[in-house]
Amino acid sequence: MPFPEIDPVAFSFGPFTVHWYALAYLAGVGLGAAYGYALLARRSLWARNAPPFPAPDIWDFASWAVLGIVVGGRLGYVLFYNLPYYVSNPAEIFAVWDGGMAYHGGMLGLVVAALLFTRKREGNLWSAVDLLACVATIGIFLGRLANFVNAELYGAPTDVPWGVVFPTDPFQVARHPSQLYEAVLEGLLLFVIIRIATHVFHGLRRPGLVTGIFGIGYGLSRIAVEFVRLPDAQIGYIYGGWLTMGQVLSLPMVLIGIGFVVYSSRRSNVRA
């Protein structure tokens, strides 16, 4: 399949250009905050009818979220994906406009921001992380679509009917659209699973349970897609021509997620 003619630049005015990737980040935070507001406002979803903080505060948290994602994502990329280069060129660490963000780092930065924000408001820290697990899938979905528009992070060569020839590929062969695989698995499907957990099985009444489901779901999805996604060029495969940095960083998410599920399931289902 030929790559659809989509300009990575959404619009420009004068010397300034706005990319779909940047808009995806902003939309992810905005839509995530709106969905978070709806969850926080429905107090019956939470243990003891007590959400981690009042619903209107989610709009204040949105700015904290942006900072956590950008700082964490950038530091994660520097430390895990291209450390030798940035050790030699430390000034480039701050050049976020040139690209280079790591999802795992961004998520960690977001968690730190949520914990600090919730602690300041004396809320339940476990429930705050659960809230992030509910809304993060929205940003993941939009971010992976933006990766596809940018024709980046594509997969290995394939002969499946839906293989895509990306314009940035020097070999111009059909490849797995791994960005779309991740958008569906880590974004759409995981959102539906968590929605069922929160609204059918009342998962938010067991602090930590939804976080565990997210960790398991994202980790397994990312590990699976990495088998058909090309690794970062500066790292390549870590072992055996198949193990990638993305898989290494995702495995702890699965293990920690299992721990969260087990721990939260052993606690009583408390409701005011």
pLDDT of residue 95: 75
Structure tokens at 133: 């697990």
> Which tens digit of pLDDT belongs to each residue from 32-53?
999 999 999 999 999 888 999 9
Looking at per-residue confidence, does 222 or 79 come out higher?
Answer: 222
Reduced to 3 states, what is the DSSP secondary structure of residue 15? Answer: coil
Contact 232/246 with Cβ under 8 angstroms? Answer: no
270 pLDDT more than 60: no
238-to-5, 175, 242, 256 alpha-carbon distances in Å: 34, 21, 8, 22
Structure tokens at 216: 């398991």
Structure tokens at 167: 């314009």
The binding site comprises: 144
pLDDT of residue 19: 85
73 pLDDT more than 80: yes
Among the listed ranges 77-86, 123-132, 191-200, which one has the minimum average pLDDT value? 77-86
What is the spatial distance between Cα 164 and Cα 52, in angstroms, rounded to a whole number? 44
pLDDT of residue 192: 98
* Among 160, 178, 159, residue whose Cα is nearest residue 232: 178
pLDDT of residue 97: 63
pLDDT of residue 271: 46
**Does the CA dihedral 97-103-105-111 come out positive or negative?**
positive
Please, what is the average pLDDT of the chain? 91
Reduced to 3 states, what is the DSSP secondary structure of residue 197? Answer: helix
Contact 173/160 with Cβ under 8 angstroms? Answer: no
Q: What is the mean pLDDT of residues 105-133?
A: 92
Contacts of 74 (CB under 8 A, 6+ apart): 93, 96, 100, 101, 102, 105
Q: What angle do CA 178, 182, 187 make, to 5 degrees?
A: 160
> Which tens digit of pLDDT belongs to each residue from 175-196?
999 999 999 999 999 999 999 9
pLDDT of residue 265: 87
> Which tens digit of pLDDT belongs to each residue from 206-249?
999 999 999 999 999 999 999 999 988 778 899 888 899 999 99
Measured in whole angstroms, how far is the alpha carbon of residue 258 from the centre of its chain? 19
Torsion of CA 257, 260, 262, 267, to 10 degrees: -160
272 pLDDT more than 50: no
What is the spatial distance between Cα 255 and Cα 162, in angstroms, rounded to a whole number? 33
Domain-wise residue ranges, the chain: 10-265
pLDDT of residue 145: 96
260: amino acid identity, one letter:
F
151: amino acid identity, one letter:
A
pLDDT of residue 98: 66
pLDDT of residue 22: 85
